[in-house]
Structure 1
Amino acid sequence: MSSAGGLQRRRVANHSTSGGLTEDDGTNKSYSNGGSSNENGRASVSAEHTPQSSYHAGGSAFEYSGGNRIAYDPRDLVDAAGEESKVGGKLPKLTIMEEIMLLGVKDKQGYLSFWNDNISYALRGCILIELALRRRIALVKDPNRRHVPPGERLVEVINDKQTGETLLDEALRLMKGQQELEKYSVNTWVDLMSGETWNVMKIGFQLKQVRERLLKGLVDKGVLRTEKRNFLLFDMATHPVADMRVKESIINRTVSLLTSTTSAIPPTALDKEGIQCRVVRAICLVSAAYCASVLDNAFDRLGFEEREAAFGRCEEILNEFIVWPFGGGASSPTGFGSGGPATPRARRQQMNKIGMGSGELSGREAVLGLVQEAKKEAKDGDEDLSFELIAGVLEVLSKMDSLL
């Protein structure tokens, strides 16, 4: 390479010994290896190299697809494969937070209900759920934790590797930095990230503009688009749905899961094959959407009785997954570990049934089939501390004031 200033072209290995890229003084260039130079001085790739090309070890990798060159780093493929093996499958395109936002966003208007405050609190809880599913955080392994409810158990970071999602990485940094001083419980972290604290010294833990950042992330992923709408005296940026197929897929999975009356899970209720923890993700989606008061947006196509039955099944699901181990919602009178119905509405329903001479929760047999499938996705069975953390988050969300 010349020592002169400016950008210089690097020599590239060639199959031909006499060809290749040559530079005399930076102006004369000849192309060989089957290529020919056109009048504008640009090289055309030979036909034998157009369909495909292999990458060079230790250097940049190139592919040819339809005549277009795509550069990638082979190490990224290795990292992606290693990440999938650690978390147990391929990560979905959208996070649980983004799917809940899609359920809440109006299709054409592109904004959320202004009076819905529950969604902000639920989204912070879903951040913890997503980090637990990606095996970044878990509960502290302490035998004494069984004596407190799942939502009061302490959380620790077990892997501080960045996820590539801005909100998740920001939350992970906060938790990693704090645990060196003191470990907080599930309930405390949800409160701190939501700004529900009177301690001015801890206001820095609050995650700002979560809804707006999630909406912009969906715009970047091509699911939403940005428009400006006039609201009386001012203009406001809105985000209508650009790809209805994505939202319809979420609605179909949600409705299919909550209208099923059999112990077998319908295939349409789950994400595609190979997706990481797709059963637990479906459970967390419907449970968090119910707590965020956006679940009814998916029930427009259902009649009144079907809607009530779907809400009832969602509460039965929530009742079985806010305890640990999963499915212990009716095996013990305690309120944690494995206890009776913990949501206020579920308790009222059970009291009404007892007054009518029946103490059984309707549809629980079908929900237990879902429990069994969710347990199969746990890595260490009842000792999976990440899944135990998910139970703690769902327990915290189930106690929100809106459910009273």
Structure 2
Amino acid sequence: MLIAEDLVLLVFDDETGKPVSGASNLEYALAGALLIELATHGRVDVTDESAKKPGRLTVGDTSPLGHPVLDDALAKLSTMDGKKPKDAISPLSGDNLSGRLLEALAERGVLRKEKGKVLGLFPTTSWPAEDSRHEEQVRAGLHRVLVDGGKPTEREGALISLLAAIDLAEKTIEGPDPKLVKSRAKEIAEGNWASEAMRKAVEEVTAAVMVAIMVPTVIMTTNT
């Protein structure tokens, strides 16, 4: 299961098949999740402070990994060597990224694709859970970290960092104190929970996601 697929499962309600409120920036987070996934496979890296141009993407092996969405992202990134991570978020988030991930999950029997109409006129699609076993394991792991105070694995840390970047941690992981969950997610996002290489990649990518979120907001504010 991709990190991006885990993120989709966390954000979409199991019963209604619709995203939780406030998930308007999900596409950017999913793009960031693909970048992090490719970094874990050693296909993409971010230059460190010792490089002539730190904080730049370097793309190595571009051979397919076997997942259409991930391979499409890698193909796009192959033309972005030397770019900043923020420059990759928008291209990777396009082409109905969440829809492609949802379709892939439905094809594997994890979700169920249901078509309907609003007011009997407007077509709509929902994605309720069909087999929630994997999602339950993911949620249990994040609950252990965000509510019980456990140490995250690298994958859990990446997921939490992305949820924190789009301000959805407390809306997807239930706890007795939502503010504490939000605070803990921010702490994890800023913490030293991963190897140096992984931490660097996650920090750069989550920062890029936040830049992508902020730019449209600034433009709208300026034009009003």
Q: Give the TM-score category using the shorter length.
A: 0.7 to 0.9
Q: Which runs of 5+ in 2 are unaligned?
A: 216-224
What does residue 345 of structure 1 align with?
A: none
What does residue 99 of structure 2 align with?
A: 212
Q: CA deviation at 1:297?
A: 3.5
1:187 has 2:82 as partner:
no
Counterparts of 1:298 and 1:161, CA distance in 2: 34
Q: CA deviation at 1:209?
A: 0.6
What does residue 41 of structure 2 align with?
A: 134
What does residue 17 of structure 1 align with?
A: none
Q: Give the one of 189, 198, 206 matched to 1:394.
A: 206
Residues 118 and 293 in structure 1, CA contact (< 8 A), matched pair in contact too: no
Any idea what SS the aligned residue of 1:143 has?
coil
Any idea what SS the aligned residue of 1:138 has?
strand
TM-score scaled to structure 1, two decimals?
0.48
Q: CA deviation at 1:307?
A: 2.0
Q: Give the partner amino acid of 2:60.
A: I
Any idea what SS the aligned residue of 2:72 has?
helix
Large movers: runs of 4+ above 4 Å? none
Residues 226 and 239 in structure 1, CA contact (< 8 A), matched pair in contact too: yes
Q: Give the one of 281, 300, 303 matched to 2:155.
A: 281
1:96 has 2:30 as partner:
no
Residues 38 and 44 in structure 2, CA contact (< 8 A), matched pair in contact too: yes
1:121 has 2:20 as partner:
no
Distance 1:192 1:307, change over 3 A: same
1:242 has 2:121 as partner:
no
Q: What per-residue deviation string (whole Å, max 9, x for no partner) do you get for residues 175-201 of structure 1?
A: 22343xxx211111113434xxxxxxx
Distance 1:296 1:313, change over 3 A: closer
Q: What per-residue deviation string (whole Å, max 9, x for no partner) do you get for residues 76-118 of structure 1?
A: xxxxxxxxxxxxxxxxxx1111111111112122122576321
Counterparts of 2:74 and 2:181, CA distance in 1: 35
Residues 186 and 389 in structure 1, CA contact (< 8 A), matched pair in contact too: no
Counterparts of 1:168 and 1:114, CA distance in 2: 27
Residues 166 and 210 in structure 2, CA contact (< 8 A), matched pair in contact too: no
Q: Which runs of 5+ in 1 are unaligned?
A: 1-93, 195-206, 270-278, 321-326, 328-370, 376-381
RMSD: 2.7
Q: What per-residue deviation string (whole Å, max 9, x for no partner) do you get for residues 3-23 of structure 1?
A: xxxxxxxxxxxxxxxxxxxxx
Q: What per-residue deviation string (whole Å, max 9, x for no partner) do you get for residues 357-392 of structure 1?
A: xxxxxxxxxxxxxx3xx23xxxxxx5x4x6532321
Q: Flag the structure with more relative contact order, 1 or 2, with Cα contacts below 8 A and sequence separation at least 6.
A: 2
Counterparts of 1:310 and 1:115, CA distance in 2: 16
Counterparts of 1:192 and 1:100, CA distance in 2: 19
Any idea what SS the aligned residue of 2:77 has?
helix
Q: Give the partner amino acid of 2:56.
A: L
1:173 has 2:75 as partner:
yes
Any idea what SS the aligned residue of 2:78 has?
helix
- Name the structure where helix makes up a greater proportion of residues: 2
Q: What per-residue deviation string (whole Å, max 9, x for no partner) do you get for residues 269-299 of structure 1?
A: 6xxxxxxxxx211101111122234323333
Q: Give the partner amino acid of 1:167.
A: V
Q: Give the partner amino acid of 2:65.
A: T
What does residue 56 of structure 2 align with?
A: 154
Any idea what SS the aligned residue of 2:190 has?
helix
Q: Give the partner amino acid of 1:165.
A: H
Q: Give the partner amino acid of 2:44.
A: I
Residues 254 and 298 in structure 1, CA contact (< 8 A), matched pair in contact too: no
Distance 1:97 1:309, change over 3 A: same
Q: Give the one of 85, 96, 114 matched to 1:227.
A: 114
What does residue 379 of structure 1 align with?
A: none
Q: Give the partner amino acid of 1:154.
A: R
Counterparts of 2:140 and 2:202, CA distance in 1: 24
